[in-house]
Structure 1
C-alpha cells in the first residue's frame, strides 16, 4: 500500500430515515491528513479498491451493527470488473455482503458502460447493494441510471431548489424499487423541502457531521405542515425501514445472545441464507427468556439459533404500511410486536419495519384525512383528489376527472329551504360513494360541487347511479350536470392543467336541459354530449 495509509483516517456520517428519525447506515469517508488521496484514487483503480477495503476494515473495528456505504469511482468498477478484495474483507470482518452498499461515484464520462454494468451486476450477484451517487450534479446519463437499477439514488442537495426534478426522480425510484436519498442537507428548510419532494432518506451536517466514531443519536427536525409527495393507498412501507440485525442461518444461539446483549436497541435478529433471504426470525424477549431459564444457556448456547426462532414474516418493499399491518394481524397474537422483514425483488432482506411505527403513521394519516373531510357529506375535499390526479399524471397513467353539481341549487335553497338543500347534497354524496368502486375517488369540494376521479372505463356505473334516477328536494324536482375530461397519458402534467381542460366542459354541461353529461378529451378540442338536450338559452348554475 502507499505511504498515505499511515496518515489516512476515516470518518462516519449517518444516513437518516426521514420518517422514523432512525439511522439506517453509515457512510465511510476517507480523511487523509496529508496529500489528496482521493484525486489519486480517481486515476488509480487499484488504489481506489484499496481505499474501499480500508474503509470497510475501519468501519468493522467500530463494532457497530449498522450497514455501511462505501464510495467507489465508476471508472474503478469498469476497469477492475468488480471488487474481489472487498468481498474477502467483508467475510474476514464477519459481516455480510448485503450489509454493504457500494456508492458508485462520478465521473461517468468516457467510462465503458457495458463494463460498468457487468461489474455492478457481478457485485449485486454477490449480495452487495448498489447506490448511484452524485445524481443531479454529476455526469450520470439518465439511461445509464435506469440500466444500473440502483437500490438507492443519492441526489445532491442543489436539486432541492428544483422540487419538480426531485419529485420526478422519486417517481422514477418508485417504478424501479429504489430509495431516494438527499445528500448535503444543512438546514431545516432543506430537510422540509426534501420531505415534501418525496425523499425518504437524507444525510448532511443538519443531522450529524462526519465523525471519527459512529453516532446513533441524530437531530431530525419535526415535519412542518405543507404539501407532501402524493402517496398511493397510504404510506409506503419503505418510508419506515430500519436496519436489520442479520446473522447467517447457521449462527449459534450463543452468537445471537452476544449480539442482543451487546445491542439493547435491537429488537430481533433475522437469520438469512447465503442469498440474504430471511429463513428464521429471532425475537429478542422470547429468545432471551428461553436462554435465561434454568439450564437455558447450557442447553442452547452451542446449538443453532434457528431452533429458537420463528418463520419470518416478510413483505415486499413496494408494499404499503396497511398491507404490512394486515400481515401482522393475520399472525399469531404473541407475535404482534415482532419486526417484519422487508425484502427486495430478489427476496433479499433490505431492513425491517416495526408494527408500532406503522400504527402510529396510519393513525396520523387517519387524523389528516378526517381533518380534510367535508363536514356535510364526510367525503374527502379537493386536496385528496388533486393529489391523486398529480400522482397519476406523474406515473403516466390515464384517468377521467369529472365535476358534478346540482342545477339551480340557489333556487332549491330558496324554494325548499336550507335543510332540504343540505339533505339533497348528502343524498347525492351517498349515491356517488356507494356507486364508486376501488378505481374511483369521490370528493366533495364545497356547496353542491363534487369531483370524481376514475379510470375512464369505470365511469358508467357511477354516472348511471346519479343521472338515471330522479332527484328532488322537499318535493321540488332537480337535475344534475356532469362534465368529464379524459386525460390520456402525457396530456396533462398536473391537476391544474386537468382543471383548465375541464372548465369549458362544465359550461357546456350547464347549457343543457335536464340531467346532462358532457365528455371531452384533454388532448383535443370539442366535446360529446352523452346526456341532456340543447336549451334555447344557456342556463346559469
Structure 2
C-alpha cells in the first residue's frame, strides 16, 4: 500500500544574505506530486511533524551542509508541545541543533498562545532556532510576535510598497535581537527596496527559484549602501554573517580533510563543543598544508583535528564591523585571513565573518563619507546629520538639534580677509569636534553654519566648551549664536519638521547681543533665552534696529 509520503518531493530555496551576496541557509519546501498534503498537515499535527522530519532527511540526503529552515504550522507546535522527533532526526543526521531553524507558519488564529510559547521555549532548549514566517501577510498578533522573540522575522514582499512598515519592523527586530528577511522578492526594485529598508536577508525568484538540488550560486544585484539604521557606529556584524562549517571538537583530522576537500568554498572549520561553543579554529590552507606534507596524512589523519587548530577568534552578534577589525588587528598577523566566529548570548556559534567582506563594505562606507565632507573643516555635511536625525526619530529617542553660526561673518571676511575667515571657521569646527562626546554628531552645512545633534544631557557641556571660549579674527572679537530645539518622541515626524522648528529659534538668537543661546521645544510655543542680552549696536558697525546679525 502506498504511503502518503511516497508522492512527496522536496525543493530547496536559498535564503540570501543581501550584504555578502552569499547563501545563508536553505529553506526546505514540500512539493507533493499528488493530493493536498500541506492542507492535511495543517489539520493533522502528527503529519505536520512527520513532514518536518522528512524535509530534514531530504536535505541530508542531498548533502546540504548549509543551515536549514524547516516549516511547521503554529498549531502543530501548540498541540504537540515541541518537536522531539525533529530534534532526534537532527541528532541522527549528525547536524547541530542551532544549524536548523523552525519557520513557524500561520495561521495563528485560534492557536492557544501560551501553549505555542511553551513549545517554542522547548525548541530553544533543544538548541533549535526560531523564525516567524508570513509576518505582514499573515495573522500573527504583534504582541505574540514580541513574546516569541524569534531569531528571524520573515516579511512578505508585498510590504515593500510600505517602506515605513518595513523600517519599523527592522527597528522592532533590532530590539528583539532578530534578523529581518523578505520573502517573495522577484525584481531588482524589490531587492533594492528591501536593502534600503534595512532587511538583511531575502528569498525569491530573483535570486534562485526552488530546485530539487541545492544551488551553489545565486544572483544578487549590486549591494546598496548600508542602511541608515546602522551607520551610527558602523555596520553590524550580523550584516556579514556567513554559514559556518562546524564539526564536533572530537572530530579527527581525516573528517576535517574530507569536509574541506568536498567543499572548496569553505575557508575553515570551527570545532565546537556539545553546547555549540567554538573550541578550535582550523584554517583551510594551513591545515591542508600540514596534511599534504611528507607523512602528513599518516601522522595526522586519525588524530584529533583540534591539534592542528588555533584558538578561535570570536565576537558577539551585536558587535560592529569595526569591532571585528579590532579583534583581527590585535591578534597574530599570520591569522588575518582566518574566519571570525560570531556567537550568540549563550556563546554558541551562529556563523562566521570574513575579513574581505568587512574591508570591502567599510571601504565603500568611507568613500561615501569622504564625498560628503566639507573640504574646509573635514566635517560631514547636512545629509549625514539629517539621516541620523531621522534614525533617532524612528527609534523613539529624545534628542536636541542645534544650529550654530558666527555673528556678522560677512564682515569678518570683508574686514579681516577670507584667510582669517577660513581660519575662524576651522577654529569653530575644532571646538565643536573637541566638545563632541558619546553619540553627539557635528556637521558643517556650509559657510559659517554648523549643525550639532546631541543627547539633552550633553548639551550644557558642549555650550560651555564653545560659547565661553574667546574668539577673534583680524584682531577683533567674534561671537557665536546658537539655537537649539529639543525633540521628544512624537514631537516631529522627520528632520524637515525638526529644521522648521529650529528656524525661528535661530532668528531669535541672532537678534540678541553677544554670545547667545536660545532653546525651544518642538511642538511648544515660545523659547527660552539661555545666553545673550537685548540688541545693541554691533561691533562690526550694525545698528541695533537692523534685523538679523548673520
Distance in 1 (alpha carbons) for counterparts of 2:344 and 2:500: 40
Is 1:206 matched up with 2:215? no
Distance in 2 (alpha carbons) for counterparts of 1:7 and 1:228: 48
* Alignment correspondent of 1:346: 346
Q: Is the 1:4–1:32 contact (alpha carbons within 8 Å) kept by the matching residues of 2?
A: no
Q: How do 1:299-448 and structure 2 match up within 5 A?
A: 299-448=299-448
Is 1:222 matched up with 2:252? no
Distance in 1 (alpha carbons) for counterparts of 2:139 and 2:274: 35
* Alignment correspondent of 2:298: 298
Q: 1:391 deviation in Å?
A: 2.0
CA deviations 1:430-485 (Å, max 9, x no partner) are: 12112222332110011111000112111223222321123232234332110111
Distance in 1 (alpha carbons) for counterparts of 2:74 and 2:403: 52
Q: How do 1:106-121 and structure 2 match up within 5 A?
A: 106-121=106-121
Moved more, 420-429 or 526-535: 420-429
1:379 match: secondary structure: coil
* Alignment correspondent of 1:60: 60
Distance in 1 (alpha carbons) for counterparts of 2:548 and 2:376: 27
Q: 1:2 deviation in Å?
A: 7.4
Q: 1:374 deviation in Å?
A: 0.5
Moved more, 446-455 or 411-420: 411-420
Q: How do 1:127-142 and structure 2 match up within 5 A?
A: 127-142=127-142
Distance in 2 (alpha carbons) for counterparts of 1:408 and 1:150: 57
Distance in 2 (alpha carbons) for counterparts of 1:23 and 1:328: 24
Q: 1:416 deviation in Å?
A: 2.9
Q: 1:494 deviation in Å?
A: 2.8
2:515 match: secondary structure: strand
* Alignment correspondent of 1:145: 145
2:350 match: secondary structure: strand
1:16 match: secondary structure: strand
* Alignment correspondent of 1:465: 465
Is 1:27 matched up with 2:27? yes
2:28 match: secondary structure: strand
Q: Is the 1:231–1:391 contact (alpha carbons within 8 Å) kept by the matching residues of 2?
A: no
CA deviations 1:148-183 (Å, max 9, x no partner) are: 111111011111001111111111111221111010
* Alignment correspondent of 1:231: 231
Distance in 2 (alpha carbons) for counterparts of 1:439 and 1:99: 36
1:20 match: secondary structure: coil
Moved more, 495-504 or 170-179: 495-504
* Alignment correspondent of 1:80: 80
Is 1:539 matched up with 2:522? no
Moved more, 134-143 or 87-96: 87-96
Q: 1:395 deviation in Å?
A: 2.2
Q: 1:20 deviation in Å?
A: 0.5
Q: Is the 1:196–1:229 contact (alpha carbons within 8 Å) kept by the matching residues of 2?
A: no
Q: 1:71 deviation in Å?
A: 0.6
Q: Is the 1:230–1:388 contact (alpha carbons within 8 Å) kept by the matching residues of 2?
A: no
* Alignment correspondent of 2:279: 279
Does the C-alpha gap of structure 1 residues 39 and 2 become closer, same or farther in structure 2, counting only changes over 3 Å?
Answer: farther
Q: Is the 2:78–2:119 contact (alpha carbons within 8 Å) kept by the matching residues of 1?
A: yes
Q: Is the 1:22–1:242 contact (alpha carbons within 8 Å) kept by the matching residues of 2?
A: yes
Distance in 2 (alpha carbons) for counterparts of 1:319 and 1:175: 15
Q: 1:418 deviation in Å?
A: 2.8
Is 1:122 matched up with 2:131? no
Q: Is the 2:181–2:199 contact (alpha carbons within 8 Å) kept by the matching residues of 1?
A: yes
State the superposition RMSD in angstroms.
1.7
Is 1:156 matched up with 2:165? no
Does the C-alpha gap of structure 1 residues 41 and 215 become closer, same or farther in structure 2, counting only changes over 3 Å?
Answer: same
Distance in 2 (alpha carbons) for counterparts of 1:4 and 1:190: 38
CA deviations 1:240-263 (Å, max 9, x no partner) are: 010000111211111111101111
Distance in 1 (alpha carbons) for counterparts of 2:255 and 2:469: 70
Distance in 2 (alpha carbons) for counterparts of 1:355 and 1:230: 19
Moved more, 503-512 or 228-237: 228-237
Normalised to the residue count of structure 2, the TM-score between the two structures is 0.95
Q: How do 1:177-188 and structure 2 match up within 5 A?
A: 177-188=177-188
CA deviations 1:396-440 (Å, max 9, x no partner) are: 222211110112222323333333322221221112112222332
Distance in 2 (alpha carbons) for counterparts of 1:166 and 1:351: 25
Q: Is the 1:100–1:128 contact (alpha carbons within 8 Å) kept by the matching residues of 2?
A: yes
2:41 match: secondary structure: helix
CA deviations 1:86-121 (Å, max 9, x no partner) are: 111112222111111100000111111111111111
Q: Show structure 2 runs of 5+ residues with no match.
A: 536-543
* Alignment correspondent of 2:259: 259
Distance in 1 (alpha carbons) for counterparts of 2:365 and 2:487: 28
Normalised to the residue count of structure 1, the TM-score between the two structures is 0.97
* Alignment correspondent of 2:71: 71
Distance in 1 (alpha carbons) for counterparts of 2:485 and 2:321: 32
Q: Is the 1:290–1:296 contact (alpha carbons within 8 Å) kept by the matching residues of 2?
A: yes
Moved more, 1-10 or 179-188: 1-10
Q: Is the 2:195–2:227 contact (alpha carbons within 8 Å) kept by the matching residues of 1?
A: no
1:323 match: secondary structure: helix
Q: How do 1:159-170 and structure 2 match up within 5 A?
A: 159-170=159-170
Moved more, 469-478 or 251-260: 469-478
